[in-house]
Structure 1
Amino acid sequence: MIPTILFVDDEPDLEALILQKFRRQIRDGLVNFIFARDGVEALESIEQNPLVDLVVSDINMPRMDGLSLLAKLQEAEDKKSTIIVSAYGDMSNIRTAMNRGAFDFLTKPIDFLDLETTIQKTVRHIEMLREVRRRQMEAERAHAALSRHFSPELAKRLAAGGEGEGIAVQWRDVATIFTDITGFTSLVESAAPETLGELLNEYVGGMTEVVFAHEGTVAKIIGDAIQVLFNAPGDQPDYATRAVACAHDLDRWAQEFCARQKARGVNFGATRIGIHAGPALVGNFGGNRFFDYTAYGDTINTAARLEAANKHLGTRICVSSSVAERAENFQGRPVGELVLRGRREALRAFEPLPPATFEAPATALYSEAFAKMEAGDAAAMPAFAALVGMHADDPLAGFHLKRLLNGAKGIRMQLE
């Protein structure tokens, strides 16, 4: 980019002299000059030529002197680097100019070799400032893009290292959460657009804040569905523990949200959550033009199918054994060995429980009934029947009782 320099001086011969002395640089496209005869004309020139890089200004001029011009330039949002020119004996004005923000000064009569050197030094300073601003803008753009996916602190760290650092496509062990809302299609068809937009924005915003509180990564938001990653892009040795804790808080927040909407007469569906852990291909899949940090692989698909399994089981959260085994002090109850849609092999699954529920007597009774069912003991059916009789609001116990009544045996079950 060719630097544009504005000379401000009321001497009539200065323009011709400058153009003569710098003719080679002008001819070679190394520099461009424009001229003004006082501060007022200089401000008008800058307004017409906002890309002026440098101002070289005399002090003593009619209408507006150089010091007043300097003050105006420093007040502007786009401050111009300024070189002040004055007589050698006028050091008081030169000191004032430097205190007001002048970058450098020259004395009269002007030594053109000194002028050229000073201009070159100032232009290098301007280019350095531009580079700093460019990097700052890149960091801000990167932070804006990353903030859609990562917690604020993690977004800052990634943006500080550059948008590509730490988010290249790679295989990683992750825990992934899938969430979905029951009956959302019906809500879309029945709700007014402005109501639906308000509901969904509040819901997604609240769920995202919960994820960020656990330092999770939001990989995708598709309508009402949210995909979350742990142990990506940064290392989180406790990623399974974080995922389970996050799922509990998501479940709690979603239930409170539903209750608030019900009080307003809006039937907002329950949130179902599935969690699985394993290897996945993770990174920015958006190419050079877009930023799309997400994950692919069997681990991701399995988490989505575990989320869907809740519909059959009557549960709100369903996690795989790979999550339950890796999470510290996991508290939950076994669901069974699920043959998920599109799979041949069974996956052992669990329903994580909050501490109060896990420690309740009903959980111990469920575990006893489940152990009988796993062992093929005929006493499993009356055990589940007794449990449902005491806790009719336990859908998972009711699910197993219904299976047993229909002739099913064991804990292996096919889910479509």
Structure 2
Amino acid sequence: MSVKILVVDDEPDLEALVVQKFRRQIRAGTVTFLFARDGVDALATIAETPDLDMVVSDINMPRMDGLTLLGKLQEAETTLSTVIVSAYGDMANIRTAMNRGAFDFLTKPIDFADMETTIARTIRHIGVLREARRRQSEAERARTNLSRFFSPNLAERLAADPSGLDLGGCRREVASLFTDIAGFTTLVESLDPALLAELLNGYLGAMTEIVFAHDGTVAKIVGDAIHVLFGAPGDQPDHCDRAIACALALDEAAQAFRAGWRERGVAVGATRIGVHAGPAIVGNFGGGRFFDYTAYGDTINTAARLESANKPLGTRICVSAAAAGRATAFRGRPVGDLVLRGRSEALRAFEPLRPDASDTPLTSQYCDAFAKLEAGDPGALAAFAAIVGQRADDVLAGFHLRRLLNGATGTRIELG
């Protein structure tokens, strides 16, 4: 470790004595000395030498004494370690110096063996401070990087213990959530770049804040699309509850966002959301230089396809039975048994509902109509028609009504 020391003293012979005493350390490059005649010169040298580590200062000097210099350094909140030099037995000045941040003291006449020991002790102290500052800087840099992906609480924990983000993957039970804005590509082509930047930054900022509020992990952002994980990298026994609650909160915020831009004459499409739960390989992939905490597996692919399924269904949120079944007191209504793109087996999906929307006569009506559909009861058509007659904007009831009118039966829905 190389240390740069400023010696502040008005004695003309001191510079030569110090250089002679520390000649081996100076030649080895472990220590560099600078010299100033008083506190005024010292402050100028300190301002010009940002990498200075230590100040060794006499007290009695012209223009500005050592105690005043210490006070100035204390006011400036510098990280310099200081050693004060005082007459033997002058405890009052030594006490004042220590109160002003001095690390140690020497007495005059200077014993150079004592000076060497004191400087060595101070250098060790500087080493400890440097290491502490290095760790703090690394932790702050880690928090800054991690805060792009993780909630503040989780980023704090991972910054303190980065082993959770070592390269490689592990199999975990997760809930995966995907979002996408309908018609966003077309919107991009019609907007001024500055307006697009304002819209997209505002949207992604609002969405990620909601994700972090639910302690979710942003695994990826591609354009307007967001992939979110719950249950990784930290354990979250309630990951399905968090994912579904997050989906509802994202939907509410996205609808408010659309309304705000509609008032400005910009038609932003609905945000579609898919949620699925199950095993996945999660971890930090991409090599030491590229941080990419993400997840792979059928659970992830299914969540993405559930997001896409909203388009033909007319819904905004689709939650799989796997996620709904693992949530506490899930509230929602069945969508149907979806055969997603590239699959042959059907997957039961639900539309989650907020408490105020789940306990209503129309929701009960819908569930009764769906039960008729599931049982093959011909009365299902009239039941869905009655719902649409009362509430024309119930897109899910309207979807089933159209299916039945076109001759479909049952709850199995083929999605290309």
TM-score by length of 1: 0.93
Counterpart Cα distance in 1 of 2:365 and 2:40 = 89
Whether 2:79 is the aligned partner of 1:69: answer no
Residue deviations 1:251-271 (CA, integer Å, cap 9, x gap): 112112222222232211111
Counterpart Cα distance in 2 of 1:46 and 1:355 = 65
Residue deviations 1:187-211 (CA, integer Å, cap 9, x gap): 2111222222222222222222222
Aligned twin of 2:141 = 141
Aligned twin of 1:373 = 373
Residue 166 of structure 1 deviates from its aligned partner by 5.6
Give 5+ residue unaligned stretches, structure 1. Answer: none
Counterpart Cα distance in 1 of 2:102 and 2:119 = 13
Counterpart Cα distance in 1 of 2:89 and 2:244 = 76
Q: Is the 8 A contact 2:56 2:85 kept in 1?
A: yes
Counterpart Cα distance in 1 of 2:100 and 2:200 = 53
Q: Structure 1: which 4+ aligned runs deviate by more than 6 Å?
A: none
Q: Is the 8 A contact 1:244 1:352 kept in 2?
A: yes
Q: Is the 8 A contact 1:167 1:293 kept in 2?
A: no
RMSD over aligned Cα, in angstroms? 2.0
Aligned to 1:165, the other structure's residue is in SS state helix
Residue 230 of structure 1 deviates from its aligned partner by 1.2
Aligned to 2:177, the other structure's residue is in SS state strand
Which letter does structure 2 place at the counterpart of 1:204? L
Aligned twin of 1:126 = 126
Which letter does structure 2 place at the counterpart of 1:165? G
| Overall identity of the aligned pairs, in % | 70
Residue deviations 1:134-160 (CA, integer Å, cap 9, x gap): 11111111111222222222222222x
Using a 3 Å threshold, how does the CA distance of structure 1 residues 121 and 361 change in structure 2: closer, same or farther? Answer: same
Counterpart Cα distance in 2 of 1:249 and 1:378 = 37
Residue 383 of structure 1 deviates from its aligned partner by 3.2
Aligned to 2:350, the other structure's residue is in SS state strand
Aligned twin of 1:157 = 157
Whether 2:296 is the aligned partner of 1:260: answer no
Residue deviations 1:341-398 (CA, integer Å, cap 9, x gap): 1222221111112233322222233223323332333333333333333332221122
Residue 89 of structure 1 deviates from its aligned partner by 4.2
Q: Is the 8 A contact 1:366 1:397 kept in 2?
A: yes
Aligned to 1:11, the other structure's residue is in SS state coil
Residue 74 of structure 1 deviates from its aligned partner by 2.4
Which letter does structure 2 place at the counterpart of 1:392? A
Aligned to 2:164, the other structure's residue is in SS state coil
Residue 167 of structure 1 deviates from its aligned partner by 6.5
Residue 177 of structure 1 deviates from its aligned partner by 1.1
Residue 284 of structure 1 deviates from its aligned partner by 2.5
Counterpart Cα distance in 1 of 2:21 and 2:212 = 62
Counterpart Cα distance in 1 of 2:99 and 2:3 = 25
Counterpart Cα distance in 1 of 2:381 and 2:397 = 10
Q: Is the 8 A contact 1:142 1:162 kept in 2?
A: no
Which letter does structure 1 place at the counterpart of 2:10? D
Q: Is the 8 A contact 1:74 1:80 kept in 2?
A: no
Which letter does structure 2 place at the counterpart of 1:251? D
Residue 304 of structure 1 deviates from its aligned partner by 0.8
Aligned twin of 2:279 = 279
Count of aligned positions: 415
Aligned to 1:253, the other structure's residue is in SS state helix
Counterpart Cα distance in 1 of 2:370 and 2:89 = 99
Residue 53 of structure 1 deviates from its aligned partner by 1.2
Using a 3 Å threshold, how does the CA distance of structure 1 residues 310 and 95 change in structure 2: closer, same or farther? Answer: same
Aligned to 1:341, the other structure's residue is in SS state coil
Aligned to 2:315, the other structure's residue is in SS state coil
